[in-house]
């Protein structure tokens, strides 16, 4: 059987999907295609209020966890007021995904966290975010969410899980994030940075395979073996549990 990978889906308001009258839960198919190429099978989880015991029981059914891109995390989770540039805040989804990733780490499950998921992991582990970096002097282009992705290089630390999965120490990535990691969460280590110093990859080295990237590997995975390698490594780790 294919390893069963939990994916936290995104809430979509009623009317945002043409001809769908009710609200819905969805995710971009590019994540699924990359996961299927790696040999995994998805289980999409709807964001909801859930207790610590229930989240553990929920993850019992899965072999790994994938957190995907999306809107901003409510800054109140890391002790700040939202800046005007914050968008797409869904506090219920924040709490759900933070509980999922903490429980997955506690249970020794492999985790791949992408873009928003990268930030969810950091905040879940007690870290903070820089709420708006777009247009700041001295930074490379990191894209604009929902408007324009941009390509830039990331230098990966040799020997890290990220570098091993991608088979390289310098990679070109597709980014579209206006926020960035500020204070690193407890237990996390930086495994990659953009040329401007912005943290682009992190790992949680004490335990199971937990890799987080600020860019969108699913966008380039079909044509680039390095980006596909992140999904391959997640499924490989899930298979070996």
Active site residues: 115, 216, 218
Question: How are the residues of the chain apportioned to helix, strand and coil, as percentages rounded to the nearest 5?
Answer: 30, 25, 45
Q: Is the dihedral of CA 143, 188, 190, 228 positive or negative?
A: negative
Q: How far apart are CA 221 and CA 223, in angstroms?
A: 6
**C-alpha span between 199 and 165 (Å, rounded):** 18
**Phi and psi, residue 229, nearest 5°:** -60, -30
Rg, the chain, Cα only: 17
Closest Cα to residue 107, out of 166, 165, 143, 64?
64
Q: How far is CA 172 from CA 135, 151, 163, 199, 230, in A?
A: 20, 6, 13, 14, 14
Residues paired with 102 in a beta bridge: none
CA distance 76 to 12: 22
Q: Is 179 exposed, middle or buried (0-12, 13-18, 19+ CB in 10 A)?
A: buried
Give the Å distances, CA to CA, from 15 to 19, 29, 172, 224: 7, 20, 36, 35
């Amino acid at each position: 059987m294919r390893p069963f990978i939990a994916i936290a889906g995104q809430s979509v308001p009623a009317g945002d999907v043409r001809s769908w009258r009710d609200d819905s839960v969805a995710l971009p198919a590019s994540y699924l295609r990359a996961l299927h190429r790696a040999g995994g099978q998805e289980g999409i989880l709807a964001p909801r209020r859930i207790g610590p015991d229930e989240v553990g029981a929920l993850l019992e059914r899965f072999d790994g966890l994938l957190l995907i891109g999306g809107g901003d995390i409510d800054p109140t989770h890391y002790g700040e007021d939202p800046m005007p540039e914050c968008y797409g805040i869904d506090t219920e989804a924040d709490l759900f995904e933070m509980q999922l990733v903490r429980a997955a780490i506690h249970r020794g499950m492999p985790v791949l966290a992408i873009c928003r998921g990268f930030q969810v992991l950091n905040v879940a582990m007690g870290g903070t975010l820089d709420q708006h970096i777009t247009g700041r002097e001295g930074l490379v282009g990191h894209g604009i969410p929902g408007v324009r992705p941009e390509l830039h290089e990331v230098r990966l630390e040799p020997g890290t899980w990220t570098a091993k999965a991608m088979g390289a120490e310098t990679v070109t990535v597709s980014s579209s994030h206006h926020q960035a990691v500020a204070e690193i969460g407890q237990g996390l280590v930086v495994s990659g940075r953009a040329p401007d110093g912005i943290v682009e990859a992190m790992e949680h080295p004490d335990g199971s395979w937990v890799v987080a990237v600020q860019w969108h590997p699913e966008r380039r995975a079909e044509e680039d073996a390095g980006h596909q390698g992140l999904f391959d490594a997640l499924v490989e780790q899930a298979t070996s549990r």
